[in-house]
Structure 1
Amino acid sequence: MPFPFFGDDKSTVARLLATLPQTGRLAWIGQRPARRQPLLSVPEAEVLTDAHLAGDHARPKAGGKRQITLIQAEHLPAVAGFLGLPVPLDPARLRRNLVVSGLNLLALKNRQIQIGDEVLLDITGECHPCSRMEEELGPGGYNAMRGHGGLTAHIARGGTIRVGDAVQVVTPELAAE
């Protein structure tokens, strides 16, 4: 008899991948006012449809897959631990726009999420670390971030987001509301 989660039935895997009932929370919002400047932590921000986070220096192209970046709060202590840095690690150092807690971000690839009542993001892929992590976190920063860099997203619908907002996967029922 096949193991229940690894049977021949591909619909079982599809069903498991589709099951994500948890609701996460927006734990932090960061804006980069200028290139190579520190991120500023803000309590709320305007997200511009098919553009960028208002107040952020980055101006990705319309239709782009990397208009906003997200990282999982639960990965911050892991990155700090790999480098022997004090916990909590300041999310601004990781140079992502949004920190989400309580929801496995990697399970969101190629899905749509809603933040608060207005904002819809199409999760487009992984946000791999860059060489700036060595500058920001010290020697080994790049490797400490591998597998913990978060995700990129296209902004399908903008609006205002606030720290504490719910973050949830968009299901057909939610999309109809």
Structure 2
Amino acid sequence: MGRIAGIARHQFPKAPMETIDRARVTLEGGIAGDFRGAMKGKPHKRQVTLMEAGDWEAAMAELGRSIGWEQRRVNLLVDGLDLPQMPGARLRIGADVMLEVRCECDPCSRMEALAQGLKAALMPDWRGGVCAMVIAPGEIAVGDEIRIET
């Protein structure tokens, strides 16, 4: 079992990431206020993105840099839990929210703009995180427990 260490969202493509302490998570829009979570009429494998805090720290150590995790442009930073690297795995956050892992969250070329070599540092072993879809909605907050459901 782990904890949610951070929540972030962005309102439109290429907008700066906003870190928040609490968020509503919906079936229709993922993290409320995050443009990427909207399903737009079809199943969307990337409603909510999650990354392990340890993986970000390892990438930063590898590059000798210190960049805020939200610059990775994922929604949730997870501490103390190895995220499952298997499509279909389910994650419970708090009492209500359930996410289903859909795929690896591949790092994009924007990571190279942050730091040379960052994209490559996020490639091994799903280090860039996972993309998930909302199965059950609810409220989440920094500090909430996150666990793998069987």
| TM-score calculated relative to the size of structure 1 | 0.77
Confirm or deny that 1:48 pairs with 2:48: no
Q: How does 1:2-13 map to 2 (within 5 A)?
A: none
Higher-helix-fraction structure: 1
Q: Which residue pairs with 1:37 in the alignment?
A: 15
Distance in 1 (alpha carbons) for counterparts of 2:33 and 2:24: 8
Distance in 2 (alpha carbons) for counterparts of 1:55 and 1:139: 30
Give the root-mean-square deviation of aligned CA atoms: 1.5
Report if the CA contact (8 A) 1:125-1:152 is conserved. yes
Distance in 2 (alpha carbons) for counterparts of 1:154 and 1:73: 20
Q: 1:82 pairs with 59, 62, 71, which one?
A: 62
Give the counterpart letter for 1:57 in structure 2.
F
Question: Number of residues paired by the alignment?
Answer: 146
Tell me how far 1:108 sits from its aligned partner. Answer: 5.7
Deviations 1:114-150 (A, max 9, x none): 1011100011111011111111x22112111112100
Q: 1:71 pairs with 29, 42, 51, which one?
A: 51
Which protein, 1 or 2, shows the higher relative CO under an 8 Å CA cutoff with sep ≥ 6?
Answer: 2
Report if the CA contact (8 A) 1:50-1:63 is conserved. no
Give the counterpart letter for 2:116 in structure 1.
P
Deviations 1:86-111 (A, max 9, x none): 3xx41111000001111111356421
Tell me how far 1:51 sits from its aligned partner. Answer: 3.1
Distance in 1 (alpha carbons) for counterparts of 2:136 and 2:116: 38
Q: Secondary structure at the match of 1:33?
A: coil
Q: Which has the larger radius of gyration?
A: 1
Q: Secondary structure at the match of 1:133?
A: helix
Percentage of matched positions with identical amino acids = 35
Higher-strand-fraction structure: 2
Q: Which residue pairs with 1:143 in the alignment?
A: 120
Q: Which residue pairs with 1:152 in the alignment?
A: 131
Unaligned segments of structure 2, at least 5 residues: none
Distance in 2 (alpha carbons) for counterparts of 1:107 and 1:52: 20
Confirm or deny that 1:25 pairs with 2:3: yes
Distance in 2 (alpha carbons) for counterparts of 1:51 and 1:74: 27
Q: Which deviates more from structure 2 when the two are superposed, residues 157-166 or residues 29-38?
A: 29-38
Q: Which runs of 4+ in 1 moved over 3 A?
A: 106-109
Report if the CA contact (8 A) 2:102-2:133 is conserved. yes
| TM-score calculated relative to the size of structure 2 | 0.90
